[in-house]
């Protein structure tokens, strides 16, 4: 009987091979048991760090102490006055010197000081850098007394007639109970009957606010010493005077920076013998300054 070849086993192996999926290159996940929290070790590290900080602090407090206080920039006040108002004590630790507090004490006590910077130079020097107000202005109080005020509205001191004449005058309102070192408050004029509660009513406080805006723009445009009078009696017709030569009309408070800068340029172009009114309100003559000589 002839033999028959059985090929079933070979075909079955091929089918098995085809059904086997190739292995993917996936990293194995290895689980590691978490370490036990070492509380003692952490505590030791914290204590070591604290000891280092404490040692540095003690070293600074022992070796770096105030032995010299230098004052620069002060003209209105003496160096001794600045040192006294700073309340910095000789031998005081530089580590615990609170510079904002020192600056605040000087600003509160000395009205002519505009800004204070405190610096430290090791091993023991404190530098106090003073910036004083560039100019003050004369303002009348409700009781008729004269006071000096900065462009930020801070009262510096009372002045007699002779002293007040040395500074530009601010007119159009009066001060209520001024005191050196305090912020200016405008005195509202007494009125008979009830005051109408309308938002368009102009108050003395409005005039004070606008006057400070004018003064600040004059300082920014470096017109210090040239303008002798600022008049805010009518807030729609603000005026400044360049000595007795020019009366400058600014209109209202809109575009004050532009108006004052333009007026300064116009004055610089005028002849030495010219005097008159400069209309810089830009209402009647838009973007043009009109000049009219005094009659």
Tell me the per-residue pLDDT of 71-128, one tens digit each, with 9 for 90 and over.
999 999 999 999 999 999 988 888 888 999 999 999 999 999 999 999 998 888 999 9
Tell me the per-residue pLDDT of 190-212, one tens digit each, with 9 for 90 and over.
765 455 455 568 899 999 999 99
pLDDT for the residue 50:
74
Using the predicted structure, report yes or no on whether residue 224 has a pLDDT greater than 70: yes
Residue 47 — very low, low, confident or very high, per pLDDT cuts 50/70/90? confident
Average pLDDT over residues 47-61: 67
Which three-class secondary structure state does DSSP give residue 128? strand
Residue 189 — very low, low, confident or very high, per pLDDT cuts 50/70/90? confident
Q: Quote the pTM value.
A: 0.74
Tell me the per-residue pLDDT of 123-143, one tens digit each, with 9 for 90 and over.
889 999 999 998 999 999 999
pLDDT for the residue 197:
52
- Select from 122, 125, 154 the least CA-distant residue to 137: 154
Would you say 116 and 131 are in contact if contact means Cβ atoms under 8 Å apart? yes
pLDDT for the residue 271:
85
The count of other CB atoms within 10 Å of the CB of residue 123 is: 13
Segment (H or E) for 63: helix 39-63
Using the predicted structure, report yes or no on whether residue 257 has a pLDDT greater than 80: yes
Q: Which residue has the higher pLDDT, 238 or 49?
A: 238
Q: What is the mean pLDDT of the chain?
A: 85
Residue 204 has which token pair?
């003395």
């Amino acid at each position: 009987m002839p033999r028959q070849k059985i090929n079933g086993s070979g075909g079955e192996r091929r089918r098995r091979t085809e059904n086997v999926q190739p292995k993917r290159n996936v990293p194995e996940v290895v689980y590691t048991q978490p370490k036990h929290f070492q509380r003692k070790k952490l505590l030791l590290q914290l204590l070591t760090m604290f000891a280092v900080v404490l040692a540095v602090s003690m070293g600074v407090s022992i070796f770096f102490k105030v032995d010299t206080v230098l004052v620069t920039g002060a003209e209105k006040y003496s160096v001794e006055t600045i040192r006294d108002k700073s309340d910095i004590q000789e031998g005081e630790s530089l580590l615990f010197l609170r510079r904002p507090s020192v600056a605040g004490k000087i600003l509160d006590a000395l009205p002519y000081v505009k800004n204070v910077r405190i610096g430290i130079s090791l091993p023991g020097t404190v530098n106090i850098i003073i910036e004083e107000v560039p100019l003050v202005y004369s303002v009348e109080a409700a009781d008729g007394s004269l006071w000096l005020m900065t462009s930020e509205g801070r009262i510096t001191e009372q002045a007699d007639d002779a002293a007040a004449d040395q500074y530009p005058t601010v007119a159009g309102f009066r001060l209520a109970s001024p005191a050196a070192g305090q912020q200016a408050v405008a005195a509202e004029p007494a009125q008979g009957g009830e005051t109408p509660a309308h938002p368009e009513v102009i108050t003395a406080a409005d005039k004070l606010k606008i006057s400070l805006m004018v003064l600040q723009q004059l300082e920014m445009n470096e017109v210090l010493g040239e303008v002798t009078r600022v008049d805010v009696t009518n807030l729609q017709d603000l005026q400044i005077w360049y000595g007795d030569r020019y009366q400058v009309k600014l209109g209202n408070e809109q575009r004050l920076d532009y108006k004052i800068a333009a007026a300064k340029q116009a004055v610089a172009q005028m002849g030495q013998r010219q005097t008159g009114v400069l209309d810089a309100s830009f209402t009647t003559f838009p973007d043009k300054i009109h000049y009219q000589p005094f009659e």
